[in-house]
Structure 1
């Protein structure tokens, strides 16, 4: 292995989390790497995936999604290989091989391969007109199809599915959303919040079908219809699959690294090979995987310290991450527990005139969960109460009305 400032760091993947890692690395006071080499599976430089929905809806341009211009990478002596993903890791020789056949040695290796749309496991997923909604290439396909066709079915009523549905609707398509759970955003909202969201989206022109699953995608070469579990057929020109994600861990599996649903790492983001690390949606700590960008950013900050300082005590500890969303202009916030159980009490506030809703879950005079719909100003304050687990007894009567009321109390 090289020593001192002669080490080479290789990063597999160049999404938002990998880019954040690069920014944190170059900001470290001690820099042990003479070379940082990044292999990007996409042909485009790292971009803001969160803005893909705005791009689909026509509210953003591709150029506005780019995270850093090429000058930034040259300035920091970072080599980027676009559209040339790593296909194999040789842990004995400490090399990676890419699609183009390039072989690159490494001293430290970071796997940041992200995730992909989960397969439905049903007939017809391979047909033309069946698209995921995970990256820029998917978004370009959706825009292209929306310009030529008028009917779409979105499978999945989570955040990505609803963003795709709204984007396609704004481009003039007739969109039906299929969701197998009882209400939309079932991981972020309780049934009341989900029903309010369904009413709002239906009023905007979407067709929502909950408690519904597809059993087959029908067509010869291109998608023509979706068959539902009640034998209903929905004619369509486009199907968007947004029913969860699967971590991209095959590269690590093939290299013999310890994997479960994703690549197993410890709190220092180290895999079963002490020279290889993993961060973002492709990694797993204990039994927890990560589908949001915020924990990935936290991991990037920890890993930058670990890579640049062997004596660093930095460690990533999974925490309660609040979810702040905006669907078709409707603000939504949730944190912690979203469904009541036998040990919780609920404080509920609802304004039927303005469709604002708040549900707070309390256990032993501690706030354990918050669901907000239509008004989310106090969301982060509720999140602090959940994470700090402070006694809310003195402010309980005012809790549903937010921080200012509680401060006054």
Structure 2
């Protein structure tokens, strides 16, 4: 027997959960909502998987909503039953368990998967990504046996994974292909301070490190060979070198896709009854990995699905990063060409601030250690006031009564 719903959401990750939260605020939300999730559990906070891995948080700290919440909100949830087929022509969706659902409107919130680079040995046992609750459980089980881990990727996820494995007792090495850690969010100086702190804790970090191949013994990874010929012993290799939007279902359904599912400002795909948000969508050539723009997408889409006129637009993002107890803040254009830079460095306290200005207006900021001034800098970046008169004191905060 076929079921019919006003709104069907494919995926039950952070984006879908945020959309549900926003829909619950709307007086004219769709009457019947069904969420189909591939994972066998309600939504959880992927941002917290790293402290969960390290044992710093428990399961309840990571979960976003208990199973009862969905029923209390009049939302039907189907977990652990991945969707196999979407037919926009008939508006039918078929799940692996045999359930067939007809929808009035459909939302893709399928997220992303770990980007696994093409290289010899990538298929070996002991090589994995770090994106899901199941990944955490697998990593914890492997770390309990000790040994050596190699983490591929010096971005936020890679550093958090490496710290978690180190805390669980593994000798851990991070490989960063770029010239410094977090090269999209930090300049070289801030990254240097971060690397020094992490190395003092016991992590080994190699920058400018390209991988030639992974080698194995009896089908299981045993070594990582770098392009410079260096060999690293490895009982575990965690790939945290980016994400790939999950678009397979949408492509098979005939929706327009580039790197991800193409959407307009109302989060609508090439089919007027089908929408997408989060890491699986692409707007004006931009794809997403940080939560701030995805939260705005959820707010827009909830209003659109409730009959209101609302549009998504790109906005500057401030990134408040927490790398295992180390505070970092970044916003705007880092190392922008033709910009004037001013900086403050206290090596004893390991505090660092650097600001980039163009014609007296703040266009970028990086803070390491003490990040309390970050929100003020971000407000100044958005306002684009001329701060020329404060140049000598800017590194110690924005004087709002002196902006022009």
- TM > 0.5: yes
1:24 aligns with 2:9: no
1:61 aligns with 2:58: yes
The Cα shift of 1:48 comes to 1.1
The equivalent of 1:118 in structure 2 is 115
Contact 1:213 1:228 in 2 (8 A): yes
The Cα shift of 1:394 comes to 2.6
Pick aligned residue for 1:254 from 252, 255, 266 = 252
> What is the CA–CA distance in structure 2 between the aligned matches of 1:149 and 1:329, rounded to whole Å?
24
Pick aligned residue for 1:95 from 92, 96, 114 = 92
Please give the residue correspondences for 1:228-239 in structure 2 after superposition, counting only pairs within 5 Å: 228-239=226-237
Contact 2:331 2:378 in 1 (8 A): yes
> What is the CA–CA distance in structure 2 between the aligned matches of 1:315 and 1:189, rounded to whole Å?
31
The equivalent of 1:272 in structure 2 is 270
Pick aligned residue for 2:48 from 42, 46, 51 = 51
> What is the CA–CA distance in structure 1 between the aligned matches of 2:296 and 2:37, rounded to whole Å?
21
The equivalent of 2:132 in structure 1 is 135
> What is the CA–CA distance in structure 2 between the aligned matches of 1:7 and 1:245, rounded to whole Å?
31
The Cα shift of 1:336 comes to 0.8
> What is the CA–CA distance in structure 2 between the aligned matches of 1:407 and 1:199, rounded to whole Å?
38
> What is the CA–CA distance in structure 2 between the aligned matches of 1:100 and 1:123, rounded to whole Å?
36
> What is the CA–CA distance in structure 2 between the aligned matches of 1:266 and 1:328, rounded to whole Å?
37
Contact 1:9 1:109 in 2 (8 A): yes
The equivalent of 1:215 in structure 2 is 212
The Cα shift of 1:122 comes to 0.7
Contact 1:49 1:135 in 2 (8 A): yes
> What is the CA–CA distance in structure 2 between the aligned matches of 1:112 and 1:155, rounded to whole Å?
27
> What is the CA–CA distance in structure 1 between the aligned matches of 2:379 and 2:182, rounded to whole Å?
23
Pick aligned residue for 1:352 from 347, 350, 363 = 347
Could you say what secondary structure the match of 1:22 adopts?
helix
> What is the CA–CA distance in structure 1 between the aligned matches of 2:329 and 2:116, rounded to whole Å?
28
Contact 2:5 2:102 in 1 (8 A): no
Compared CA separation, residues 394 and 22, structure 1 to 2 (3 A): same
Contact 1:155 1:177 in 2 (8 A): yes
Contact 1:320 1:335 in 2 (8 A): yes
Structure 1 alignment gaps of length 5 or more: 1-5
Please give the residue correspondences for 1:360-379 in structure 2 after superposition, counting only pairs within 5 Å: 360-379=355-374
The Cα shift of 1:340 comes to 3.0
Alignment TM-score, normalising by the size of structure 2: 0.96
Contact 2:116 2:129 in 1 (8 A): no
> What is the CA–CA distance in structure 1 between the aligned matches of 2:5 and 2:41, rounded to whole Å?
27
Instruction: After superposition, give the CA deviation of every residue in 1:177-221 in whole Å (9 maximum; x if it has no partner).
Output: 000100000000001111111111111100000000112111131
The Cα shift of 1:247 comes to 0.6
> What is the CA–CA distance in structure 1 between the aligned matches of 2:386 and 2:270, rounded to whole Å?
41
Structure 2 alignment gaps of length 5 or more: none
Alignment TM-score, normalising by the size of structure 1: 0.95
The Cα shift of 1:407 comes to 5.5
The runs of at least 4 aligned residues of structure 1 exceeding 2 Å deviation read 405-409
Could you say what secondary structure the match of 1:107 adopts?
strand
